[in-house]
Amino acid sequence: MAEYITTLFNGTEHSLRLLEVWGVWLSSIGTLAAVITALWLGLRSERIKIDASVQVMRLIPSNPPQHHLVVRIVNTGVRPVTLGSLGWTAGYRWGPYKQRTFWQRVDHKPENSPLPVELRDGAEAIYYLDMAVFNQLREQLERPEYRQSLKLEIFTSQGKRFRIKPNKSVFEELNQDVIV
């Protein structure tokens, strides 16, 4: 093998042209990598990015303790996003448990963020949903297969939809009896 390499690069005109071709190929691969990296860096800031959580929380002090379904949405991207509405989905697109979709109405309480709401970089929206609505959702999701596949849907005015799996506390409450 060493003999073959020394014959390739022995300083003849053929070996110099071979090195020249390799240089052209390496520089073109480097240029292509630079263009792809520049496009990726330029376009990644244009994406809408949100972080959301859904969990059951108890309001204290209150007697008896009041439960609320708390939805927290944070814009983690650079681009502003306008939240249009919230909803729920359960089931699957295929199989015996067909997908069901529910629209969530958000009450105009002082502690709730308005809908629609524009979230700039780092801004958050919080919604405290009544458990009575959650109990109605429980009645609609009579089978465990539907309850296990429950996801919150967040709709934006830009036409993007985000599906968020709720916290474990939501599934625990969903499988219990009616919550006050």
Give residue limits of the domains in the chain.
2-44, 50-174
Overall average pLDDT of the 80-108 stretch: 86
Specify the pLDDT at position 178.
Answer: 47
- Of 141, 41, 31, 122, the residue nearest 80 (C-alpha): 122
Overall average pLDDT of the 153-167 stretch: 91
**pLDDT (tens digit, 9 = 90+) per residue, 14-51?**
777 777 888 888 999 999 999 999 888 877 767 888 99
Percent of the chain, pLDDT > 90?
30
CB neighbours of 171 closer than 8 A, spacing ≥ 6? 147, 148, 150
pLDDT band at 11 (very low <50, low <70, confident <90, very high): low
Separation of alpha carbons 96 and 61, rounded Å: 44
What is the topology classification, in CATH, of domain 50-174? Immunoglobulin-like (2.60.40)
Instruction: Please compute, for residue 42, the number of CA atoms within 13 A of its CA located in the half-sphere on the CB side.
Output: 6
pLDDT band at 131 (very low <50, low <70, confident <90, very high): confident
Bigger pLDDT: 148 vs 11: 148
